[in-house]
Structure 1
Amino acid sequence: MPGKIRKRSPLKVPEQPYIALGLEGSANKLGAGIIKHSPDGSTTVMSNVRHTYITPPGEGFLPRDTAQHHREWILTVINDALSKAGISLHDVHCICYTKGPGMGAPLTSVALVARTLSLLYSKPLVGVNHCVGHIEMGRQITGAKNPVVLYVSGGNTQVIAYSQQCYRIFGETLDIAVGNCLDRFARVINLSNDPSPGYNIEQEAKKGKRLLTLPYTTKGMDVSLSGILTSVETYTTDKRFRPQGSSEGEENADIITPQDLCFSLQETVFAMLVEITERAMAHIGSKEVLIVGGVGCNERLQQMMSIMAKERGGQVFATDDRFCIDNGIMIAQAGLLSYRMGFGTPLSKSTCTQRFRTDEVHVAWRA
């Protein structure tokens, strides 16, 4: 039964190549990724395969249906990842899976497969915090050294900074996450979920012409987003609102379009996120910002953050959708770092935790 393997600190260049399989399934993205750490200190992404559960417009994804999707596709995704990497499971040193946070049923479905593979192939198991996976993959890809991290996704919104082998949460949402806010509004105006509601809101926002008044709620280092969601939904009942595709009253300059609402929602929410991130930068004296999580792909958010960072003489680091959106390779990266420090997850403790806090993780691989 895999447990503690070998402990060493700080993290050193490996004496041999290490290969990890990472499995991610905390929400509607199912991913399998294989990563290699080499003796020369380099890191190689050997494969990164993902399959997304997409629901019809106007609908979200339920835990039960999402879990069923993961069960149906996970062997295909894993085999595809192994094939693209050109290896077999016998070549893998450890199997990493998302322990949390996330949706209970999908998490459990993927963890069950990870446990089974661990037993079948006698490979150590490593449970990974989903947020730490995002951070470590972001640091690896961008080369950011010690940034303030803005973690924005469908289920999480946090401003984070590293200190004494822990990722400290400086600020977060007090209610719903920014990705959840955008997704829910996309359902209200019946936007497609393909490839994602947040991406489609971003495209609609580019066509917006009016900045409408919405609640701006920052409370110290925290933000509140439920009020802004209610307020922007209220605009859809305004007599000036014209639904998607409606030509009625287009000659009236006073009309409100779905594009205006998407634009106003993005601008207001992103301004709030930039404010609390800047506050964290000032607090710890950092000039680096790393944006991770699915919403981190948004080009307007990256642009607004870059303006702020440049005014402070700093720099923004971000990745594209291969690494921003939930994926297996980020779980493999964080899991392999933990494994190389001598940590593993015994089968008796290979459970899932829906509310696995970022600051509960011992980041032993950082000095």
Structure 2
Amino acid sequence: MPKRTHESPLKSTDRPYLALGLEGSANKLGAGIIRHEVDGSSTVLSNVRHTYITPPGEGFLPRDTAVHHRQWALKVIEDAVTISSVSMHDLDCICYTKGPGMGAPLQSVALVARTLSLLFNKPLVGVNHCVGHIEMGREITGAQNPVVLYVSGGNTQIIAYSRQCYRIFGETLDIAVGNCLDRFARVINLSNDPSPGFNIEQAAKKGKRLVPLPYSTKGMDVSLSGILTATEALTYDKRYRPNDSPRNGDDEDCFTSADLCFSLQETVFAMLVEITERAMAHIGSKEVLLVGGVGSNVRLQEMMGTMAEERGGKVFATDERFCIDNGIMIAQAGLLSYRMGFQTPIKMSTCTQRYRTDEVHVAWRA
């Protein structure tokens, strides 16, 4: 991984630092161990994840997701420790997702983190899920001071760093982009394995026709509930062919589910590119960093890359190992915070469902 730059106020040390990160804010349970080397670089020692998958057409409920996390926590953590070839006694701290996210899954993982902290007498560090995505993205890609597009199932934000805080320039006014895609996948009965968003992406590659859909940017913000409603309504249109059967000369005006997936992606991603470009122009940045589960979408990366190239800039993105929720991103952000002297007392190791990105003191950046 890239070395941290001169902008980091982290003190140099004569030994490596180790952290275990636990993530469980939604349907993915993750555990990862990271090591900060003496020279300032980082090494991912393990990154294990297990996903709660529901039948096609169904979402995941907080209660059932929490049960999944409790059932798999021991196995996932044991695998992470085994793969990393370190002992729990070697860790400097244990990091967990404090929020934002779904209440019951968050509480399940926090309980596991508290238990481990007490069992092995290790400091506990609560981490903002969004900041975890950003710091892991910066570490993996080497992006210095990018405009961050954070897009996932529960969050859609345009973010830039200033004065030890990640400032939110724009965000969704209603539902997140990942939630928009996932809900439409349920409407057309796409599988949730490995994820509905991934299967929307694959279906969109087969789309041939761009169906007009509402385009709703409001300054630096976006609204996605309207485009979702409009796309769902088109599945009741007499021109709709749900089985993706080939067109013939009599139904040139018809469209398939693949066409709708293609149209939904193209329209929503165009909205995201627009507000990202505005943020780049505002702060004078030439870098864009894509984080969050939707950030691994290849089509979004292509569209953002075209815009950035026209501005003489560059897009930084990672694959599903680090874009999709994982424990290693919590370990990375938590260890940065721990090395600046921050710890979460056991009695304060609670969860916050609405934990804003701009509420975090980013002490490790100058």
Q: Fold-level match, TM-score > 0.5?
A: yes
Equivalent in the alignment of 2:146: 147
Instruction: Return the alpha-carbon distance in structure 2 between the equivalents of residues 181 and 41 of structure 1.
Output: 39
Match of 2:163 in 1: 164
Name the CA distance, whole Å, in 1 between partners of 2:98 and 2:49: 18
8 A Cα contact 2:293 2:320, kept in partner? yes
Q: Deviations over 1:79-126 (max 9, x none)?
A: 000000001110111000000000000000000000000001000000
Aligned-partner SS, 1:14: coil
State the distance in 2 between where 1:251 and 1:191 align: 28
Question: Structure 1 residues 250, 65: CA separation in 2 closer, same or farther (over 3 Å shift)?
Answer: farther
Q: Which residue of 2 aligns with 1:307?
A: 306
Confirm whether residue 339 of structure 1 aligns to residue 338 of structure 2: yes
Amino acid at match of 1:227: G
Say whether residues 1:269 and 2:268 are aligned partners: yes
Match of 1:207 in 2: 206
State whether residues 58 and 191 of structure 1, in contact with CA within 8 Å, keep that contact through their aligned partners in structure 2.
Answer: yes
Identity %: 81
> Is 2:66 aligned against 1:67?
yes
Matched residue of 1:193: which SS?
coil
Aligned residue for 1:290, secondary structure, equals strand
Shift of 1:253: 1.7
Q: How far apart, in 1, do the equivalents of 2:249 and 2:298 lie?
A: 29
The size of the alignment, in residue pairs, is: 359
SS in 1 for 2:135: helix
1:118 aligned residue = 117
Question: Where do 5+ consecutive residues of structure 1 fail to align?
Answer: 1-8
1:95 match: secondary structure: strand
Distance 1:250 1:79, change over 3 A: farther
User: 2: distance between equivalents of 1:246 and 1:259?
Assistant: 10
Give the aligned residue type for 2:222.
V
Between the aligned partners of 1:252 and 1:280, the Cα distance in structure 2 is 43
CA contact (8 A) 1:152 1:295 kept: yes
Q: How does 1:46-57 map to 2 (within 5 A)?
A: 46-57=45-56
Give the TM-score taking structure 2 as reference length: 0.97
Query: SS where residue 338 of structure 1 aligns?
Result: helix
Q: 2:168 corresponds to which letter in structure 1?
A: I
**Distance change (3 Å), C-alpha of 1:250 and 1:243:** farther
**Once the 2 structures are TM-superposed, how far is the Cα of residue 244 of structure 1 from its aligned partner?**
2.6
Alignment pair present for 1:235 and 2:234? yes
Alpha-carbon distance in 2 for matches of 1:212, 1:230: 14
Q: Is the 8 A contact 1:31 1:48 kept in 2?
A: yes
Aligned position for 2:348: 349
The structural deviation recorded for 1:13 is 2.5
Give the secondary structure class of the aligned counterpart of 2:253: coil
Equivalent position of 1:78 in the other structure: 77
Question: What is the TM-score of this pair, normalised by structure 1?
Answer: 0.96
- Show the counterpart of 2:40: 41
Q: Which residue number corresponds to residue 191 of structure 1?
A: 190
Amino acid across the alignment from 1:298: N
Alpha-carbon contact 2:247-2:254 (below 8 Å) kept: no
* Structure 2 residue aligned with 1:254: 253
Tell me, in whole angstroms, the C-alpha distance in 1 between the residues paired with 2:49 and 2:249: 41
The code of the aligned residue for 1:53 comes to Y
For residues 248 and 56 of structure 1, the distance between their equivalents in structure 2, rounded to whole angstroms, comes to 30
Whether contact under 8 Å (2:245, 2:256) holds in the other structure is: no
SS of corresponding position for 2:57: coil
Q: Are 1:97 and 1:114, in contact at CA under 8 Å, matched by a contact in 2?
A: yes
What SS is found at the alignment partner of 2:241? coil
The 5 A counterparts of 1:133-144 are: 133-144=132-143
Report the Cα distance in structure 2 between the residues aligned to 1:248 and 1:296, rounded to whole angstroms.
Answer: 33
Deviation at 1:10, TM superposition (A): 1.9
Stretch moving more, 251-260 or 97-106? 251-260
Q: How far apart are 1:325 and its partner, in Å?
A: 0.2
Kindly provide the CA deviation profile for residues 118-139 of structure 1, in whole angstroms up to 9, marking residues without a partner as x. Answer: 0010000000000000000000
